[in-house]
Structure 1
């Protein structure tokens, strides 16, 4: 079984358990000081975990979001086997949850602005002009978007297969 197949099935398992695997902190490859873990408080990435050298931006450039840090650990043989699969699956699932949460927040803000202009699709505004939307509608739209993306990925894979098969048959002639 390939790593990607394992990580996607592990990703589903991780969502159910919510237990974070042990992700070790390693020395910075640039300066040798221990990397530290942080949680982003910025609006672009609220709640995202990242790992960086304590001296990042002054003398060092070692910094990674959690998923990329796990990939760094795997590439450098710090995480191996099941530990690597578990950590990668969990990091991918966590990233999806954070992106979905951020997407819902942005969508609600967009709908809130539309509501103030009188063009809200699924909800009404209260006296303050804030969006009082239908959470179920937002969830359904996000789910529909994910399904569309999955279908597009399948379509691209099929087209790639057809292209490769065509090249193979052309070479055989």
Structure 2
């Protein structure tokens, strides 16, 4: 669904297939599209095939999920999963739109970031690198927790032997 998905959520993002409902106005099937405008690059939206002709049904991805839940096309766990994935996706896309600072250079949108040393980094690479850093920090926390638990287990075994 998005290149902005972190590697942890990439499987969920790709696996999230929302049902294509019938338009509540004209009953024609709703279709999924991906925006290519600079303001909403890679944002997913859904609209009626007759949008702009005889119909005005059009929703961003999150609003479309809310529509599906309201109309009972999504219920229970699939609805909760869809809302979570779509909110995470929107948050990542919003973060990707924020100005990015690197060695005094400012970049936003699709522009390329250039450091003083002449190395080039695309905005997408910068976002991916930041997400990787977050994931590494989470793995380090989990590693520390495992080491502490193993230490406690060893201490309990030593105490039981005495």
Question: Is the pair's TM-score, using the shorter chain for normalization, greater than 0.5?
Answer: yes
> How far did residue 111 of structure 1 move?
4.0
1:101 to 96, 105, 112: 96
Higher strand share: 2
SS in 2 for 1:51: strand
> How far did residue 15 of structure 1 move?
2.7
TM-score by length of 1: 0.54
> How far did residue 87 of structure 1 move?
0.5
Q: Quickly say closer, same or farther: Cα 1:76–1:131, change in 2 above 3 A.
A: closer
Name the CA distance, whole Å, in 1 between partners of 2:95 and 2:106.
18
1:15 to 3, 9, 28: 9
Alignment partner of 1:57 is 2:52: yes
Point out where structure 1 has 5 or more consecutive residues left out of the alignment.
Answer: 1-11, 114-122, 144-173
Higher helix share: 1
Runs of 4+ in structure 1 deviating by more than 6 angstroms, as ranges, are: none
> How far did residue 20 of structure 1 move?
3.0
2:27 to 21, 32, 36: 32
Give the paired residue count: 114
> How far did residue 22 of structure 1 move?
2.8
Deviations 1:46-85 (A, max 9, x none): 0111100011112111011111100110011110000100
Deviations 1:129-164 (A, max 9, x none): x999xx69xx6xxx9xxxxxxxxxxxxxxxxxxxxx
Q: Quickly say closer, same or farther: Cα 1:16–1:46, change in 2 above 3 A.
A: closer
SS in 2 for 1:69: helix
TM-score by length of 2: 0.57
SS in 1 for 2:38: coil
Contact preservation (8 Å) 1:125, 1:131: no
RMSD over aligned Cα atoms = 3.6
Point out where structure 2 has 5 or more consecutive residues left out of the alignment.
Answer: 1-5, 108-114, 135-162
Name the CA distance, whole Å, in 2 between partners of 1:66 and 1:112.
29
Deviations 1:90-123 (A, max 9, x none): 10011111111121xx33599448xxxxxxxxx6
Q: Quickly say closer, same or farther: Cα 1:108–1:131, change in 2 above 3 A.
A: farther
